[in-house]
Structures are given as structure tokens and as C-alpha cells.
Amino acid sequence: MSRQQERARRTRSVIIRAAAVEFAKRGYGAASINSILEHSNATKGAMYFHFASKDELARAVLEEGLEHYRTIVSRWVDAPELDPFERLHGMIADLGEALHNDDVIAAEFRLVTEPEFADEALLRGSYIWGRAGYQLAVEAQERGLFRPGVDIRRFVEAVGSSLAGQRYLADLTSPDTDVKSKFEACLEVPLEAMASEEWLARWWERGWPQTSD
């Protein structure tokens, strides 16, 4: 990659990050191009070289958000030393932290609730981690970690709906809300009703495993 190409790549990345902060804070409609330019230290010409419109810039933020989601999901789906519920917990806890600390993921969540992008919501981050959650639930069922007769689709839907609700509440209340602990409860409550007695006994005794970043 030439120096000019590398400089262009970095400029594009900085603009996306500044846009993510603006979209996460104000939403799509109220987001200001001037504010994005100010925080990225990019010129208007540089921005329009990379993005023809605010809509195109928002879609670039959405795509960047997908990559962040994929990184989180792959970390936990590919963790064979943990059981499926432990991996699901790790994934959900990381999502909670990311929604609080990662501007790109926070912006992705905010954008897919906007009318301009509502039709794409099912193709975005929630689809990636929802599919991974279902995969882990299938594995848990195959290993006998659920109670007999549990409908794992209902389990995954209950967890997903609770996560979405907690995120909305966090937006409505305080930016300092501990999203991670709220997200953990969204998994723990259904597990207490649906996990096998043997798994629950081990979990109540040991808790969630400590994992390093």
C-alpha cells in the first residue's frame, strides 16, 4: 500500500469513528456533518471524497459495527474450554461492555432503531450475535444442559428480547448504567428457569468463570 493510500485509509477510518460518536449521541436525523468534521479534523472535501452523503457515511458505520460484532462473537463461539452457557455468557457480557464503551457498536444500535434503517435491523448486529446464541443453545441442548422439553427457540427469543429492552432502558435513564450486569441478568433469569438442575447446581457453586481480556 502506498503512502497516499494509507493516508486515505486512515482518514476514512477517523471519519467513521467521529461519525459513530455523533450518531450514537444524536441519532441519524440530528447528526451534524460539521460536528463530525470538527472531531475528525478532516476537511469537507476529504469527507465527500470517501462518502457521497450522510446516508453513505451512516452505512459505513453500520458495516464497521458488524466487524466489531463478529470479533466479539468469534471470540466466544470458538472457546472450547468453556461449556455453551459459559460461552453465551461471555459473549453477552462483552456485548454489554461494548454497548457502553465502543462508539461504533453504540452507533450501530442507535442507527438500526431509526426509520431510515429500520428495514435493515434484522441483517445487522442482532442477527450476528442472535445466530451465534442459537448455535450455542443447540449445543447446550445436545449436551443435556437444558431441562427436558425446553424449546430453545423460545429461550433464545427471551434472551434477545430482554437484551434489547435493557439497552433501550439504558438509553432512557443514565449513560452510566452498568449495561454489562443488566445484560448478564437477561441470560441468568431464563437459565434459572430452563437449564438442567445439574448445570444450575454447578453454576450456583462456582459462578461464571473468570476470563482474561
Cell reading at 212: 482474561
Cell reading at 122: 434484522
Residue 21 has pLDDT above 80, yes or no: yes
Q: What pTM does this model have? A: 0.85
Q: What is the structure's pLDDT at 207?
A: 94
- What value does the mean pLDDT take over residues 169-197? 84
Sign, CA dihedral 117-59-48-102, equals positive
Q: pLDDT per residue over 36-87, tens digit each?
A: 999 999 889 989 999 999 999 999 999 998 899 899 999 998 888 899 999 9
- What value does the mean pLDDT take over residues 120-143? 84
Using H for helix, E for strand and C for coil, what is the string for 112-138?
CCCHHHHHHHHHCHHHHHHHHHHHHHH
**Rounded CA gap, 184 and 89, in Å?**
7
- What value does the mean pLDDT take over residues 167-178? 66
